[in-house]
């Protein structure tokens, strides 16, 4: 099938973009890399009279160190992020998650803003943004806002963005000393969305005690999740006193509404999720200890 007819708009700056969204209302949709939107249009699962293309919008692309954070423009492609030495050095978890997204053809066009705004609960970038306490910068006709990733994902494919609001950039905190990061996922085939996945960020103090940690889960609920009770229980403990399996089972014990479909039951996903958390925990703690 082909998409239903639409009018194409190519604004040049962010203000013009949100002006168009406000003027055209719910008949308009932003398009970035098109890697989620175009299949939906082609299958006519979604129909919009107007597509507003972000490709020519100035100021939405790039990767910059800004103080203690790395800013990434919303229209920066997944491939650019995967190639960035700055991201590999300062936000290694984001770097490591990138090759897990689809295939290189998808990453060449798909953008970080599109991934986060699309908010698939099994996608890597939303979970990484949540794990790293990223901050989301937006613009609408009412002005700009900065939103924490926590609370941004409100349901399957839904976020705190208003219909006329553009995600302009995302900032990630630069890694702290003695920190370690890992992401693990299980997918039936390479490039598929994960059945279950986990991202871990851990920071140790000088005595190998856990100063703080973050455990992000994807594919295990209607939104990406943080295992907050497990994180709180781990803070202050010595890494030697914690087994990775214990971290895995504690992290999934908190889960409610685990999806079930023909690819796997909720119990199966929960089991796979615990294994992914345990693997990621082991690797992140080792990296933090070696740092
Ligand atoms: C075969 C296949 C496999 C895939 N596998 C994976 C995978 O394993 N993991 C994964 O994470 N993803 C996967 N994807 C999805 C891919 O990562 C998409 O690129 C991504 O989800 C959307 O980014 P995009 O730039 O293409 O956005 P688009 O498809 O252009 O847009 C997606 C949504 O985001 C909105 N949007 C885009 N940019 C903005 C913005 N700046 N502000 C506000 N709203 C915006 C659009 O209006 C639309 O609603 C896969 C896709 C395909 C086709």
22 Cβ contact list (under 8 Å, min separation 6): 140, 141, 164
Closest C-alpha to ligand 1, atom 51: 35
Nearest Cα residue to 11 out of 36, 31, 41? 31
CA 36 – ligand 1 centroid, Å: 4
Residues 206, 270, single domain; the answer is yes
CA 121 – ligand 1 centroid, Å: 12
Tell me if 1 is assigned to some domain. Answer: no
Residue range 247-276, pLDDT digits in tens: 999 999 989 999 999 989 999 999 999 999
C-alpha to C-alpha distance for 126 and 163, rounded to whole angstroms? 19
Closest C-alpha to ligand 1, atom 38: 114
Residue range 149-207, pLDDT digits in tens: 999 999 989 999 999 999 999 999 999 999 999 999 999 998 899 999 999 999 999 88
Tell which atom from ligand 1 comes closest to the C-alpha of 117.
Answer: 34
CATH number at 23 reads 3.30.43.10
Residues 184, 278, single domain; the answer is yes
CA 241 – ligand 1 centroid, Å: 41
Q: Which residues approach ligand 1 with their CB closer than 6 A? A: 29-37, 39, 54, 74, 101-102, 106, 109-111, 113-115, 117-118, 123-125, 161, 166-167, 191, 193
Residue range 62-113, pLDDT digits in tens: 999 999 999 999 999 999 999 999 999 999 999 999 999 999 999 999 999 9
Residues 207, 167, single domain; the answer is no
The encoded tokens of residue 163 equal: 């219909």
Give the pLDDT confidence score for residue 180 in this predicted structure.
98
Residues 286, 261, single domain; the answer is yes
Average pLDDT over residues 6-28: 97
CATH number at 258 reads 3.30.390.50
Give the pLDDT confidence score for residue 291 in this predicted structure.
83
Give the pLDDT confidence score for residue 1 in this predicted structure.
76
Give the pLDDT confidence score for residue 67 in this predicted structure.
96
Give the pLDDT confidence score for residue 60 in this predicted structure.
98
* Reported confidence tier of residue 25, pLDDT bands at 50, 70, 90: very high
The encoded tokens of residue 132 equal: 């790293």
Residues 117, 161, single domain; the answer is yes
Mean pLDDT score of the chain, rounded to an integer?
96
Give the pLDDT confidence score for residue 207 in this predicted structure.
83
Which of the listed residues 173, 196, 230 is the one where a domain comes to its end?
173
Tell which atom from ligand 1 comes closest to the C-alpha of 167.
Answer: 42
- Which structural domain, as residue segments, surrounds residue 257? 179-290
Closest C-alpha to ligand 1, atom 39: 114
């Amino acid at each position: 099938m082909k998409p239903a007819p639409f009018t194409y708009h190519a604004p040049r700056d962010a203000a013009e973009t949100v002006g168009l969204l406000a003027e055209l209302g719910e008949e308009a949709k932003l398009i970035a890399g098109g890697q989620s939107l175009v299949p939906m249009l082609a299958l006519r699962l979604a129909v919009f009279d107007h597509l507003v293309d972000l490709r020519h919008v100035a100021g939405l692309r790039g990767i910059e160190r800004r103080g203690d954070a790395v800013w990434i423009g919303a229209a920066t492609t997944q491939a650019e992020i995967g190639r960035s030495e700055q991201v590999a050095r300062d936000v290694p978890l984001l770097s490591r998650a990138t090759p897990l997204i689809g295939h290189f053809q998808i990453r060449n066009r798909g953008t970080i803003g599109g991934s986060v705004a699309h908010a698939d609960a099994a996608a890597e970038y939303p979970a990484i943004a949540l794990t790293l306490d990223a901050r989301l910068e937006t613009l609408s006709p009412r002005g700009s806002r900065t939103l924490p990733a926590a609370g941004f994902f409100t349901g399957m494919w839904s976020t705190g963005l208003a219909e006329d609001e553009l995600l302009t950039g995302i900032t990630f905190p630069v890694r702290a000393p003695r920190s370690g990061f890992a992401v693990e996922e299980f997918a039936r085939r390479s490039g598929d969305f994960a059945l279950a996945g986990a991202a871990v960020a851990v920071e140790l103090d000088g005595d190998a005690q856990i100063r703080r940690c973050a455990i992000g889960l994807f594919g295990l609920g209607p939104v990406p999740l943080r295992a907050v009770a497990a994180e709180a229980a781990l803070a202050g403990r010595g890494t030697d006193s914690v087994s990775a399996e214990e971290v895995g089972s504690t992290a999934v014990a908190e889960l409610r509404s685990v999806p079930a479909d023909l690819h796997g039951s909720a119990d199966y996903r929960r089991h796979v999720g615990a294994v992914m958390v345990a693997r990621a925990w082991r690797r992140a703690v080792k990296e933090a200890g070696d740092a």
